[in-house]
Structure 1
Amino acid sequence: MKNNKFQNLISKKSVIALAVANVFTAQAVFAEEAPSAEDSNIETITVTSAKRTQNIQEVPIAVTSVSGDELGDMQITDILSLEKAIPGLTVSSFGNNPRAVMRGAGAAGTTDIAVPIYHNNMYLPSSGQALAGYLDVERVEALRGPQGTLFGRNTFGGLINVITKKPELDEFDFGAAVTGGDYDLQKVEGFVNIPLGDKVAVRITAADEQRDPYVENVNNPNGGLKDSDYSYARAQVLFQITDDLSVNLGTSYWKDTGNGNLNWAYKSLGIPLDKDDPTKINPIDGFLDPRMGVYSGCADGDRAGGRSQAGNICNGDEFADIVNGDFKIDYDYTPDRELEDTAIFVNVSWDVANHNINLNAAAFEYESRNIMDAEYSGNPAWIDGTYGTRNSHQADLTITSTHDSKLQYTLGAYLFDDTDSDNKSAYIFGSLEESWYAYAGATPETPSWAYWNTEGFGGTKSTALYGQATYSLTDKLNLTAGLRFTEDEREWTSSNGLPWDASLRLGPELPTFDYTGKEKEYGKDDHTDYLLGADYQLTEDVMIYGTFSTAYIAGAVDNATHKFLDPQENEAFELGVKSTLLDGSLRLNGAFYTGTHEGLTTTAFIEQGDGVAVATQIPGGSIDAQGLEVEGYWDVTENLVVDFGISYDMSEYDEFNVATGNLVWNGEQPIGTDEVDANGNGVFVMDGKDTPYTPDVTVGLGISYTFDLGDMGTVVPHVFSYYNSGYETNRAPVFFGEQDAYTKFDVAVKWQSAGGDWTAKFWMNNATDELITTYTEILSRARVAQDYASPRTWGVRVGYNF
């Protein structure tokens, strides 16, 4: 087995080496044929990924920039649909907290967000805040690989920075758009830009969207899932105090009251049983028995798994069956969900003495509440959910050189603080009927909350000093070095449980927790990260570069021991090439990367001294990441445009254990598991296996053609295809957690008036109606549930100057 594994590794590395060689060879061949990029007919893309405005082809890191127009053309409306534009990005759906996975980072084991979302260079501390739709956006920049020497927090595997449009002093401008589509989609959006003299401008942006659920609830029409019901508004004021000094003040508000998603995956599939002996759980190569309830006292014997609150399948209980249809459920409870985010932000930019001094600061108030059906049936028994508040503020001050010199540098200081006394979070479990848990008197309007529940209270204060400099050793060779020192202070305490008396826990409002006698736990981490790099201009149009960088995530609080865990670390290497070829009509970039993620939280068994081992989460897991990314944009003719992105990812667990679900039944260890923890969870040893949400190959290909209709404007059909070789949707190697390879097509036809002010577009996403699994959960009693991406959808959008 070791020899086979070694041969596979050699084979993979050979593929990578060959692919890298082909990329570089292609660059060299094209470079010999192509004249200077000064004659390029491709629009120059400027980015701020290095904290200075640069041509994207001059930035020696793997960065993808997607303009606001391109977001609209590809029907990318939020973080959940962004992956088709970013090579190597996968976004999994986990309740109200989408998770971005990039270069293996975020797949497993980190105690905080591994690929965070930034908004105008400000870190969003909760991934749920990223669900707000993209509105009046200038561009989205995706930076792959660690970015710790220039950005704020947790850029373990990269970051995604959403940059919105700012007020403009030049002219009054406005726009509006209306969208309608299937599932009764109704969306209205608009903006207005108002100059108030030569020094002040105001920009106001707003949107409102409503859409019926993708997931139909056959039991409760009001309880469908994956709907949309949100409002968003943003207001900004720009003060151009002098030619060199500007201040932009803004505020935004977003509220989402749709049913959204369950806290876990929404669609129950059944119980994984052994094919030869259905009294045993077999998550490795068994079959799914399509039920939620128990199978007890039946004519052909008992079967393992299932939950009694869903009924007994052989007694004909209607709630024990699973309703047919991937987008159909049979739940009684109407979700109680509300997400609300308020932000205040400021940007000060001052050009002085051949430097730019830039201050970004923001304060966020984010609240989330999500209470859902917990037993996945129409039986009015259990509900569960989460709620939390996350108030935070942060500031990032940079000083960047702008003089004409061989040495260019950026110095910065960063502060983040979410230790607000109102920051709390809890998992809530309740019942809507009397039971042995003493839920007497509970009703759907007044659930009784679980007496064992506790609430968490705490936060993080992070400070950092950083700097990065580039020195031009020759006209062609640049050397770059960056350094960052970070100190994180964390605090945490847990409340007492709720009263045993159910009458004290009844009510429509969430319970109030008591902290009497509880003291805070404190922890502190500090870390120094660095970057070393070089780039070389092979020709006027081809640049090669290499970087070695590190990243860090501060340890969190162990839920079981309430002690602080050690941090996670990433050491990453990147070798890339950027080129503008074929008379400037083709932009072709590629990057090879490796990364070693260490200190990941993994399951371990701790000997208690009495012969009993207890499972807990400890630092010690690791992942090896490596792969290749290629992306390009080609103006084939004046009218025909092709854009593409390719990723090849070989990320795998190095040393890692996964405890998942309650798979033990009647004391039997599930087939294929390596251990069983004290709570009856099966534990898998994952060493050498693929990490979840990291497909081996993805290919995105977009083709558009412009038909010029003269005075009648233009018509542009656009087809985008996305191939995914498949991936694991659960951290464990279970047979029901595999998303097979698929190819998805999005199509659109856009008409634009001759003056460019009016547009009308028909679009259809997932035209072939592919069923795409985004998340798999193993619930208690070995029940399996999955989450799916959106089915085929279509719509028509009409806009003016938008």
Structure 2
Amino acid sequence: MKKKYNMLSKTTVALAVANALVMSGAYAQVEAEKEIEIIEVSATKRVTNIQDVPLAVTAISGSALVDMQITNVMSLEKAIPGVTITSFGNNPQIILRGAGSAGTTDIAVPIYHNNMYLPTTGQALAGYLDVERIEALRGPQGTLFGRNTFGGLINVITKKPELEEFSFGGAVTLGDFNLVKTEGFVNVPVSENIAFRITAADEKRDGFVENINNPAGDIKDSDYTYVRGQLLFKPTDNLSINLTAAHWKDTGNGSLNFGYKPAGIPLDKDDPTLINAANGFLDPRFGVYEGCADGSPDRPGGRTVSGGNVCDGDPFATIVPGARTIDYDYTPNRELEETSFYVSIDWEVAEHSVLVNAAMFDYQSINLMDADLSGLASWVDGNYSTSKSKQLDVTVSSLFDGPLQYTAGVYYFNSQDPANRSAYIFGSLVDSYSGYAGATPDTPSWAYWNSEGRGGTKSTALYGQATYALTEKLNLTAGIRYTEDDRESQSADPLSFGDTAARLGPKLPTRTYGIKEVQRGVDENTDYRLGADYKVNADLMVYATYATAYIAGSTDVATQTLLTPQTNKAFEIGAKSTLLDGDLRLNVAAYSGKFEGLTTTAFVEQGTTGVAVATQVPGGSILSRGLEVEGFWDVTDALVVDFGVSIDMSEYDQFIVDAGNLVWNYGDGPVGPIGSETINESFVYVVDGQDTPYTPDMTVGLGVSYFIDLGDMGTIKPHVFAYYNSGFISNRAPVFFADQSAYTKLDLSVKWESVDGNYSVQAYVNNATDELIKTYTEIFSRARVAYDYNSPRNFGVRFAYNF
């Protein structure tokens, strides 16, 4: 039976790992008298069965990530009930319990790496490599974690150096789309108290989206390298110091900035010369929505951005068939690069644990893509950014016996580096109007109206959380966190319209600062957590919590203060149980929350003109309610089932969405989308009571593994994972063309492992049903609609030694 326990420890998707107190000492242990794996954690620096931790958490072991082919953040949602991850260029966005679906001025569900906050979501695109586990904490975690845990957080924890023995491992994965991925590690004990670990990976893969006009311009490809070095120094049994340096660079074409596949123009069924985004149809032509001169009743026609018309036979006015086929002329210019340094000190002294975590990040990205989405050499657009930051988190936790256990800490974050700049980029590749004289594909002319800004946030916090055992069965928990946020920003000086020579490429023009004032605002906030848990018996624990969360608002130009922050007040009740003589672990959590102060659309009158201009202001709200169920069932000695169910009823409470690019019918004045309201000839959707985007009413994940013992030949494990999603809307506006209908995805794999567990071969098929899923819907100027889609069916084989 020992062999089976080893296999389970490598494949189990654990249902919870540490309460957010201190995460450095979590570990798994198998009890000999039970067949299901028992997860134990040191959530309060005291070893505790995970079933006793009163918190809704999902954790995925590093080996489970490999078995489920979860290679980066974009494939993580199938393992965490209720999580949806959108594809948004270089910035994936996590939506959890309604948080992140709309209206926040910062990341609502952040990614942490070794307990350190990543200030940009683009940093999460680095592939998972030599990972110990990933933890998803659902619901606000503001009293213990660094920043912006508005709806929860994802924490990626990597493997650390080991002092016991020299070891190494590696893997090679080959697959379709010419996938070649190599990865490996080496762990070297230098002495009894010093060891280092080096981990590296390189991946190359052709694009999932074929560019028939320019083979070098395929997108959704992969081309990255990653290396991480760690040094562990453990001078005594009670003190350990871990130093980490990592570098990651991605030069693949990646995704477009928004949607990559043009789909057409939303037209009214009765009058195809007008837009109807509420209940119309998509005319599958690229360009604007003007009809042909001959008045063809069956084809309203379309016009390209260059002025060509489908009515005149312009081939670029026709959309290329196939959801994963494009015909763009421009080869993407994209590069992501990050250098990071970490320090982690764990010291046990005077019956307390002192944990010091510090990190520095230097991340920069550029993404320049085909803006006209066609084979014409006309426009490109994109963005670039630099993000330098540093942070420090110090916690002190009790270790002594007694009814009271506590953690206290201080947190500091600073991204106010003068080099931190970001900009939207737009340029013309052809000599044309609006100051683009002299532009060619080799020397683009950059738009004079391009905007660049710089700034950052300085955040300090004091926090504490304590648990008191009233009886052997009843515990009470209270937490508090005081945060002060200082935000600053400044816009660059405008470029000259007349100085076209200064704006000619290939390099971007240099921006200066000084004309516009620095905007700065400071705000403070206090978050709370109150909870109770009750041990009904040895196999059942119930709990209830109330927690708040906070994201600082943006700077008010007039008052130089921060606008109303975004807040979340959330309730959660749950139960954790072990049933069927220990063979079934079943956890349930029900939640309710209200997000307030979200940025929503309002119209502000400009001076005495009486003209109102749409702007984003605080004032929107969302109601978040739902139920989550997770389970792991050791059905027989050979059959293992894990499952997760999420029922999410999140909806807008009070919210207005600007109709933006949907409202203008050129030549005839403004034409509002059906179902919208008009204010001073601008149109908005009032979405009160409607479902929030990217929040399906139900998701179900079911994994089934079967172990076949081959004796001295090792074991074979077939694995099937099915994921059902009830569907969602993929845009903030309630437009018909953004609906994603229900779907079921199926992933398959079979893994052979040697008797000693050192050698393995795994064959896999991801998205075996080849489902086509909208991950994002973009509405461009002139009401053009474009989609971003998920990855197609893909397969491969992974050969590994001790990895």
1:299 to 276, 283, 294: 294
The aligned residue for residue 382 of structure 1 is 379
**Matching residue's letter, 2:91:** N
Where do residues 778-789 of structure 1 align in structure 2 (5 Å cutoff)? 778-789=779-790
Q: Does 1:407 align with 2:409?
A: no
Q: Distance in 1 between matches of 2:747 and 2:710?
A: 24
The aligned residue for residue 696 of structure 2 is 695
Q: Deviations over 1:313-341 (max 9, x none)?
A: 11111111110000001111100000001
The aligned residue for residue 59 of structure 2 is 65
- Alpha carbons of 1:51 and 1:269: their partners in 2 closer, same or farther (altered >3 Å)? farther
Q: Does 1:619 align with 2:618?
A: yes
- How far residue 197 of structure 1 moved from its aligned partner, in angstroms, is 1.1
Where do residues 111-150 of structure 1 align in structure 2 (5 Å cutoff)? 111-150=105-144
Contact 2:287 2:784 survives alignment (8 Å): no
Q: Distance in 1 between matches of 2:557 and 2:96?
A: 26
Contact 1:451 1:497 survives alignment (8 Å): yes
2:515 to 514, 517, 542: 517
- How far residue 304 of structure 1 moved from its aligned partner, in angstroms, is 8.8
The aligned residue for residue 709 of structure 2 is 708
The aligned residue for residue 3 of structure 2 is none
Q: Which moved more, 1:445-454 or 1:172-181?
A: 445-454
Q: Does 1:360 align with 2:360?
A: no
Where do residues 27-42 of structure 1 align in structure 2 (5 Å cutoff)? 39-42=33-36
The aligned residue for residue 638 of structure 2 is 639
Contact 1:140 1:161 survives alignment (8 Å): yes
Say which SS state the counterpart of residue 702 (structure 2) adopts. strand
- Alpha carbons of 1:310 and 1:550: their partners in 2 closer, same or farther (altered >3 Å)? farther
Contact 2:162 2:195 survives alignment (8 Å): yes
Q: Distance in 2 between matches of 1:276 and 1:50?
A: 65
- How far residue 293 of structure 1 moved from its aligned partner, in angstroms, is 2.3
The aligned residue for residue 228 of structure 1 is 222
- Alpha carbons of 1:622 and 1:162: their partners in 2 closer, same or farther (altered >3 Å)? same
- How far residue 435 of structure 1 moved from its aligned partner, in angstroms, is 1.1
Q: Distance in 1 between matches of 2:593 and 2:656?
A: 20
Q: Does 1:200 align with 2:210?
A: no
**Matching residue's letter, 1:641:** V
- How far residue 137 of structure 1 moved from its aligned partner, in angstroms, is 0.3
Say which SS state the counterpart of residue 129 (structure 1) adopts. helix
- How far residue 415 of structure 1 moved from its aligned partner, in angstroms, is 0.3
- How far residue 49 of structure 1 moved from its aligned partner, in angstroms, is 6.2
Q: Distance in 1 between matches of 2:43 and 2:558?
A: 39
Q: Distance in 1 between matches of 2:173 and 2:682?
A: 47
The aligned residue for residue 482 of structure 2 is 485
Q: Does 1:589 align with 2:587?
A: yes
Structure 1 residue ranges without an equivalent (≥5): 1-35
Q: Deviations over 1:641-691 (max 9, x none)?
A: 00000000000000001114411213232332523577x864110000000
The aligned residue for residue 11 of structure 2 is none
Identity, in percent, stands at 64
**Matching residue's letter, 2:422:** S
Contact 1:338 1:369 survives alignment (8 Å): yes
The aligned residue for residue 444 of structure 1 is 441
Say which SS state the counterpart of residue 45 (structure 1) adopts. strand
The aligned residue for residue 533 of structure 1 is 531
**Matching residue's letter, 2:452:** E
Q: Does 1:656 align with 2:655?
A: yes
- How far residue 615 of structure 1 moved from its aligned partner, in angstroms, is 1.1
The aligned residue for residue 602 of structure 1 is 600
Contact 2:431 2:440 survives alignment (8 Å): no
- How far residue 607 of structure 1 moved from its aligned partner, in angstroms, is 2.9
- Alpha carbons of 1:624 and 1:44: their partners in 2 closer, same or farther (altered >3 Å)? same
The aligned residue for residue 80 of structure 2 is 86
**Matching residue's letter, 2:115:** N
1:110 to 95, 101, 104: 104
Contact 1:49 1:143 survives alignment (8 Å): no
The aligned residue for residue 23 of structure 1 is none
Q: Deviations over 1:135-176 (max 9, x none)?
A: 000000000000000100000000000000000001111001
**Matching residue's letter, 1:517:** I
The aligned residue for residue 725 of structure 1 is 726
The aligned residue for residue 22 of structure 1 is none
- Alpha carbons of 1:504 and 1:127: their partners in 2 closer, same or farther (altered >3 Å)? same
2:677 to 675, 678, 681: 675
2:578 to 577, 580, 601: 580
Q: Distance in 1 between matches of 2:93 and 2:378?
A: 30
Contact 2:552 2:566 survives alignment (8 Å): yes
The aligned residue for residue 6 of structure 1 is none
Where do residues 255-270 of structure 1 align in structure 2 (5 Å cutoff)? 255-270=249-264
The aligned residue for residue 325 of structure 1 is 322
Q: Distance in 1 between matches of 2:590 and 2:682?
A: 38
Say which SS state the counterpart of residue 197 (structure 1) adopts. coil
**Matching residue's letter, 2:331:** T
The aligned residue for residue 162 of structure 1 is 156
Q: Deviations over 1:386-434 (max 9, x none)?
A: 0000000001000001111100000010000000110000001000001
Q: Deviations over 1:354-397 (max 9, x none)?
A: 10000000000000000000111111111001000000000100
The aligned residue for residue 460 of structure 1 is 457
The aligned residue for residue 174 of structure 2 is 180
Say which SS state the counterpart of residue 295 (structure 2) adopts. coil
Say which SS state the counterpart of residue 309 (structure 1) adopts. coil
Structure 2 residue ranges without an equivalent (≥5): 1-29
Contact 1:89 1:101 survives alignment (8 Å): yes
**Matching residue's letter, 1:669:** V
Say which SS state the counterpart of residue 581 (structure 2) adopts. coil
- How far residue 38 of structure 1 moved from its aligned partner, in angstroms, is 8.5
Q: Which moved more, 1:47-56 or 1:343-352?
A: 47-56
Contact 1:206 1:233 survives alignment (8 Å): yes
Q: Does 1:552 align with 2:550?
A: yes
- How far residue 522 of structure 1 moved from its aligned partner, in angstroms, is 0.6
- Alpha carbons of 1:90 and 1:53: their partners in 2 closer, same or farther (altered >3 Å)? farther
Contact 2:520 2:555 survives alignment (8 Å): no
Where do residues 337-352 of structure 1 align in structure 2 (5 Å cutoff)? 337-352=334-349
Contact 2:291 2:302 survives alignment (8 Å): no
Q: Distance in 2 between matches of 1:42 and 1:677?
A: 61
The aligned residue for residue 749 of structure 2 is 748
- Alpha carbons of 1:51 and 1:731: their partners in 2 closer, same or farther (altered >3 Å)? farther
Q: Deviations over 1:255-286 (max 9, x none)?
A: 00000001111111000000110011000110
Q: Deviations over 1:690-717 (max 9, x none)?
A: 0001000000000000000011000000
1:504 to 502, 505, 513: 502
- How far residue 52 of structure 1 moved from its aligned partner, in angstroms, is 6.7
Contact 2:446 2:503 survives alignment (8 Å): yes
The aligned residue for residue 21 of structure 1 is none
Contact 1:434 1:440 survives alignment (8 Å): yes
**Matching residue's letter, 1:287:** F
The aligned residue for residue 92 of structure 2 is 98
Contact 1:37 1:541 survives alignment (8 Å): no
Contact 1:283 1:670 survives alignment (8 Å): no
Contact 1:50 1:59 survives alignment (8 Å): no
Say which SS state the counterpart of residue 595 (structure 2) adopts. strand
Q: Does 1:430 align with 2:427?
A: yes
- Alpha carbons of 1:46 and 1:421: their partners in 2 closer, same or farther (altered >3 Å)? farther
Contact 2:446 2:504 survives alignment (8 Å): yes
Contact 1:774 1:788 survives alignment (8 Å): yes
- Alpha carbons of 1:286 and 1:248: their partners in 2 closer, same or farther (altered >3 Å)? same
- How far residue 53 of structure 1 moved from its aligned partner, in angstroms, is 5.9
- Alpha carbons of 1:273 and 1:51: their partners in 2 closer, same or farther (altered >3 Å)? farther
Q: Deviations over 1:592-648 (max 9, x none)?
A: 000100000000112334332221100000000000000001111111100000000
Q: Which moved more, 1:555-564 or 1:192-201?
A: 555-564
Q: Distance in 1 between matches of 2:761 and 2:90?
A: 32
Contact 2:620 2:655 survives alignment (8 Å): yes
Q: Say what the alpha-carbon RMSD is for the aligned residues.
A: 1.8
